[in-house]
Amino acid sequence: MSERKATNVTWHKSLVSRQDRERMNGHKSVVLWFTGLSASGKSTLAHATEERLHQMNCRTFVMDGDNVRHGLCSDLGFTLEDRHENLRRVGETAKLLVEAGVLVLTAFISPLRADRERVRSLFPHGDFIEIFCDAGLEVCEQRDPKGLYKRAREGEIANFTGISSPYEEPLNPELRLDSGHCSVEENVDDIIALLRLRRILPLPE
């Protein structure tokens, strides 16, 4: 699916650069890639972080795993091959948004390290920040807000990550959050602190 079939196409360079957009926004642009099991807090943290950033007058956009399957990836299932294509599309879209000067927050299980590394390879060094929402399987099953783990245990859902499909934890994420025990506010504080440390956000005056 990822092979480019279009021919006779030429890349047109924009007269407005990414750096121009970043200067206008007052912050740099990166992708914050939230990964973890279902119910580990990815979407909750991505949206809570976006809200905090919005209050700081930052340009942001959240790409949520469920939301993109209503449109951009509505033709894909949950086999490993479809997950690979799902993340390829998301990665390419996030790359465009980063070029537009936006702080992109993505919330995807993205279970395989190889797929996450492929997305990382789309970005210059430092522009892809992997955030591991580290909530164990037991915690996620106890939460189970959509009842998916129960259905997966009963054999109603195939290819469910953590039950019948593997999840490979990040080996060296830029940030590991204890999303199983720490509060949302504490985790968001850690994310903002990392963005300031990396000079993505300006330091407070």
Residues identified as active-site: 110
Say how far apart CA 41 and CA 43 lie, in whole Å: 6
User: Tell me, what DSSP letter sits at residue 69?
Assistant: T
Other residues' Cβ atoms within 10 Å of the Cβ of residue 84: 17
Say how far apart CA 32 and CA 62 lie, in whole Å: 9
Which residues have CB under 8 Å from 74's CB, separation 6+? Answer: none
Say how far apart CA 137 and CA 149 lie, in whole Å: 10
The alpha carbon dihedral of 49, 55, 59, 61 has a sign of positive
Task: Decide if 65 contacts 108 (C-beta within 8 A).
Answer: yes
